[in-house]
Each structure stands twice: as C-alpha cells, then as structure tokens.
C-alpha cells in the first residue's frame, strides 16, 4: 500500500512536469497540442543514449534532453503552428506518433540497465523510492516557480493575449508566431525533462511506452486541474495518477481491468466539460491587473478580511 502511494507520488511528479509544459502550450497560449508523448520519448532516449552509450553523467543528460526536445519542438513548431484549433491537434497527434515510430526503428529493443544517477556520492536506486520522490518533486518545485514567473512576466502576458484573440494581439504589436513558437518550445522541453527523470527512475527505456495515451493523460491533467493555472495542473497530476493506480490501491486488480482507467478518464472529461469546463481550480484570479506586490498579496492572503484590501485588489 505504502509502496503504491510512493509510486503515485513519483509518477504524479513526472506527470506534473509534463503538465507544466502542456499548460504553457495549451493553458497560456491556447494551442491544443497532443504530442507530449513524443517529447517524453525524446527526453528518455536522449538520457539513455548519454548515460548508457556514452557513459556520461545523468546531470549532463538533463540539460541535453531539455535542449534536444526543445529543438525538435522548434523544428516541428515552425510549420505546424500556423494551423489552428483542431487542425493543430491532428498535426501534433501525428507528429507524436512519428517520433515514437522513429524511436522504435532507431532502437526497437530499447535500453536496459542504464547507469544510476548519483548526487554527492549518493546513488539513486529504483527501490529507494523516497529519494526519487525528493528528487522529482524538487524539480517540480523549481519548474513550477520558473513557469509561474514566466506567466507573470511580459512574455506570459503576450501569450495570454495570443490565447484570447490573435488578431487583436497583432494589432497590439505582438508577434503572434514568435510567442506561439517560444511557448511550444518551452512546453516541449518540459516533456524532455520529465522523460529524463523517468529514465533515471526506471533505468529502462521501452519504445512501446510512449503511446498516444500518454499525451491524452497529460492533456487530461491540464484540463482537469484548470487551464492556465500552475497549482491546478499539479493537483490534476495527482488525481490522474491516483485514478491510474486505483485498482492496485484497492487491491481489486482481478476485478477491475487495467483498461478501466481509460473509461474513467473519458467519463471524467465528459463530466468536467459539462459541469466545470474551467477545471477544478479554474484560471488564476489575480493575474496582471493587480497592483499589489507579492508580499502584500501574501499578507492579504493570511489576513483574509472579508472586504478591505482583498476586494480592492481585483476581480473576484
């Protein structure tokens, strides 16, 4: 039981990293992309090749995986991001499959017994789950902060403008293509980082594990939590992983088939679309049009007075 909870924590962390990337693409810039499995795959392969084939450190493979995935995102992004809505969705779906097939042909058996990652002499072994929980959630925290900062910066503002109305964004002097591509590249790089960390945990890479289902799960995570909301996305990752391990947790693996979770995801999405299309937490309420400093926001949050300064702050 504890074992499964630890497993959920690890995979929730990995999916939270991917969801942060997906949130950048879908939540901020409003592009419906379905190829995070592909980015995940590139990150995993890059790590496997660097650690196993070249025998280099895991810590080197991390930035390489991020940059390699980002570059693929850039190459894919330039032609496909001209498409809109459903068309972009179909194009990215196809690209995810292309990446998976290229990887399968490149190395059909995958990689096994990849050297472990180590930090200050400590070796991260797969059976020591607690160490991985700390490692992965440290990354989630770092990237959560980096992307929150991004969302609040000028770049994030421009992305939101592109999501809200492309034509109006152009008339405001916003280079729509540039922001779409930067958002896509950043989101893709997050997929690469998640793939890298998963490889460090499982120490194997199998081309069969980067199916379309992974992309759907990542998108579900974002939609479920709330598009464009950093915290919500992490909450979504927990819920999705919890559902995914439900049969094992309840000890009903014999009764509930593994495919049942796909039905539950589908059901969950339908229910969400009907009753709460903005996601569980919805979009961030205070964003740009709030004159308070971070410290003021924090103190207002703890003070929680009913009218007063909080109401002054913004639209509730």
List the interface residues with another protein, window 271-310 (CB under 8 A). Answer: 283, 287-291, 293-294
Single out the segment in contact with another protein by CB under 8 A; choices: 72-80, 112-120, 166-174, 253-261.
166-174
Candidate list 75, 98, 141, 168; residue touching another protein; CB under 8 A? 168
**Nearer to another protein by C-beta: 255 or 315?**
315
> Can residue 78 be called a binding residue for another protein (CB under 8 A)?
no
Residue 105 CB, nearest approach to another protein (Å): 39
Nearest approach in angstroms of CB 180 to another protein is 12
Q: Determine if 176 is a binding residue for another protein (CB under 8 A).
A: yes
Whether the Cβ atoms of residue 27 and residue 222 lie closer than 8 Å to each other:
yes
Q: How far apart are CA 304 and CA 155, in angstroms?
A: 31
Closest approach, Cβ 20 to another protein, in A, equals 16
Say how far apart CA 34 and CA 93 lie, in whole Å: 5
Q: How far is the CB of 51 from another protein (least distance, A)?
A: 32
Q: For the CB of residue 296, give the shortest distance to another protein in the complex, in Å.
A: 10
147: its two tokens:
């992307």
Give CA separation, 13 vs 21, 71, 171, in Å: 13, 24, 39
- Which residue number, 208 or 305, has a Cβ lying nearer to another protein? 305
| CA 235 – CA 62 distance, rounded (Å) | 25
Q: CB 301: neighbour CB atoms within 10 A?
A: 9
Alpha-carbon span 139 to 194, nearest angstrom: 9
The residue written with tokens 């590249």 in the block is: 185
Q: How many whole angstroms separate alpha carbon 122 and alpha carbon 131?
A: 10
Which residue from 109, 255, 274, 315 is in contact with another protein, where contact means CB under 8 A?
315
- Least distance in angstroms from the C-beta of 177 to another protein: 8
Q: If you search the block for the tokens 């990652």, which residue do you land on?
A: 117
Q: Give the phi and the psi of residue 280 in degrees, each rounded to 5.
A: -60, -50
Q: Which helix (H) or strand (E) holds 30?
A: none
**Closer by beta carbon to another protein, 8 or else 222:** 222
Site string for another protein, 146-165 (x = CB under 8 A): ---xx-xxxxxxx-xx--xx
Verify binding: residue 173, another protein, rule CB under 8 A. Answer: yes
State how far the Cα of 65 lies from the Cα of 261, in Å rounded to an integer: 30
Chain residues that interact with another protein, rule: CB under 8 A:
149-150, 152-158, 160-161, 164-165, 167-176, 283, 287-291, 293-294, 314-315
């Amino acid at each position: 039981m504890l074992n499964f909870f630890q497993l959920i924590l690890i995979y929730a962390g990995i999916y939270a990293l991917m969801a942060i990337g997906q949130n950048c693409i879908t939540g901020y810039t409003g592009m419906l992309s379905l190829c995070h499995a592909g980015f995940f795959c590139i990150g995993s392969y890059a790590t496997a090749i660097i650690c196993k084939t070249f025998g280099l450190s895991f810590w080197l493979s991390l930035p390489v995986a991020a940059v390699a995935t980002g570059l693929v995102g850039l190459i894919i992004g330039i032609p496909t991001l001209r498409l809109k809505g459903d068309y972009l969705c179909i194009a990215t779906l196809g690209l995810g499959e292309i990446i998976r097939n290229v990887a399968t042909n490149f190395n059909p058996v995958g990689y096994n017994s990849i050297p472990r990652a180590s930090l200050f002499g400590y070796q991260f072994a797969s059976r020591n789950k607690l160490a991985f929980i700390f490692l992965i959630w440290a990354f989630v925290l770092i990237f959560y902060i980096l992307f929150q900062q991004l969302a609040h910066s000028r770049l994030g503002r421009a992305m939101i403008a592109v999501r809200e109305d492309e034509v109006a964004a152009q008339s405001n002097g916003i280079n729509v293509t540039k922001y779409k591509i930067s958002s896509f590249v950043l989101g893709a790089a997050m997929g690469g980082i998640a793939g890298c960390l998963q490889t460090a945990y499982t120490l194997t890479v199998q081309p069969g594990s980067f199916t379309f289902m992974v992309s759907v799960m990542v998108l579900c995570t974002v939609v479920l939590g709330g598009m464009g909301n950093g915290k919500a996305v992490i909450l979504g990752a927990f819920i999705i992983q919890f559902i995914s391990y439900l049969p094992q947790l309840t000890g009903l693996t014999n009764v509930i088939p593994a495919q049942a979770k796909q039905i539950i995801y589908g059901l969950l999405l339908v229910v969400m679309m009907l009753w709460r299309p903005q996601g569980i937490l919805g979009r961030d309420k205070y964003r740009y049009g709030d004159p308070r400093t971070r410290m003021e926001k924090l103190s207002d949050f703890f003070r929680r007075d009913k009218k007063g300064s909080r109401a002054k702050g913004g639209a509730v």
